Amino acid sequence: MSAADVFLPRDLPLWQAARPFLDVRNNDEHTIVAYGLARALLAQIPEADESVVLPAVVLHDVGWKRIPEELLLLAIGRNPTRKDLVREHELHSVAIAREILERLRPAGVDIEAVLAIIDGHDTTREARSLNDAVLKDADKGWRTTPHGMRTIAGWYGVPVTEILMMLRERSNALMLTPQGRALAEANTAAVAAEQQIQQYLGRGPEFPVFAVSEGAQW
Ligand SMILES: [Fe+2]
Ligand SMILES: [Fe+2]
């Protein structure tokens, strides 16, 4: 474990238990990035309870595993035709998360409080509590990260301009905390501005992807 590790030691067993349920529709990648965002939001919102929010982030989407894979993209996106599956995945997530939490019993974690915010994390829009708001902001905030935008664009085979439109028209309005709203708006603005480099400079960004993956010293 190093300071750069995303998951807290308390939540690593939960992550291991959740992984077999997260290998559909990039949910495993989504969960890692959303957890990192949740930690950043919690650092800005100390009144929220990390022992509720973080386990909930790890387990909130495990239920998608029980939805037939070919239907997954119909449940989300700009014009979803199977919204009923969104509620269904929440109910499956609660059942699976309950089994995992009651088996592992992580120290200091209020299991019912975790399950209460997993239930309804997508189908309720208002903040039912501060913990609920931070979970939702980490989840929806993921869409505004470079990883989230690339992933969603890949699912639907659409350009980043479509994703930016979806974020501005629909998704960013769902952010519930001032900190989450700032995160989403800033991420969206930065990616949108990067798209205009071509317009102002007559060429794209010098480094469109990370040029080196590891090993460099600076
Ligand atoms: Fe979800
Ligand atoms: Fe999610």
Which ligand has an atom closest to residue 27 CA?
2
Average pLDDT of 181-203?
97
Report residues near ion ligand 2: CB below 5 Å. Answer: 61, 139
Cα-to-centroid distance, 43 and ligand 2 (Å): 20
User: Could you report the per-residue pLDDT of 103-156, keeping only the tens digit for each?
Assistant: 999 999 999 999 999 999 999 999 999 999 999 999 999 999 999 999 999 998
Sign of CA dihedral 87, 93, 99, 103: negative
The more confidently predicted of residues 16 and 78 is 16
Q: Which two tokens stand for residue 122?
A: 């997508």
Which ligand has an atom closest to residue 142 CA?
2
Architecture of domain 9-196: Orthogonal Bundle (1.10)
**Cα–Cα dist 135/72, whole Å:** 21
CA trace torsion 61, 15, 155, 184 (10° rounding):
80
Give the orientation angle of helix 130-141 with respect to helix 178-195, to 10 degrees: 10
Which ligand has an atom closest to residue 76 CA?
1
Which ligand has an atom closest to residue 137 CA?
2
The more confidently predicted of residues 211 and 195 is 195
User: Could you report the per-residue pLDDT of 47-71, keeping only the tens digit for each?
Assistant: 999 999 999 999 999 999 999 988 8
User: Could you report the per-residue pLDDT of 27-51, keeping only the tens digit for each?
Assistant: 999 999 999 999 999 999 999 999 9
Report residues near ion ligand 1: CB below 5 Å. Answer: 61, 122
Cα-to-centroid distance, 202 and ligand 2 (Å): 37
pLDDT of residue 1: 53
State the burial class of residue 98 (Cβ atoms within 10 Å of its Cβ: 0-12, 13-18, 19+). Answer: middle
| Helix segments in 60-124, DSSP class H | 72-75, 84-104, 111-118
pTM value surpassing 0.85:
yes
Cα-to-centroid distance, 139 and ligand 1 (Å): 8
**Cα–Cα dist 56/122, whole Å:** 13
Cα-to-centroid distance, 62 and ligand 2 (Å): 9
Q: What share of the chain is helix, strand, coil (3-state, %, to 5)?
A: 65, 0, 35
Which ligand has an atom closest to residue 63 CA?
1
State the burial class of residue 52 (Cβ atoms within 10 Å of its Cβ: 0-12, 13-18, 19+). Answer: buried
Percent of the chain at pLDDT > 70 equals: 96
pLDDT of residue 122: 96
Cα-to-centroid distance, 21 and ligand 2 (Å): 13
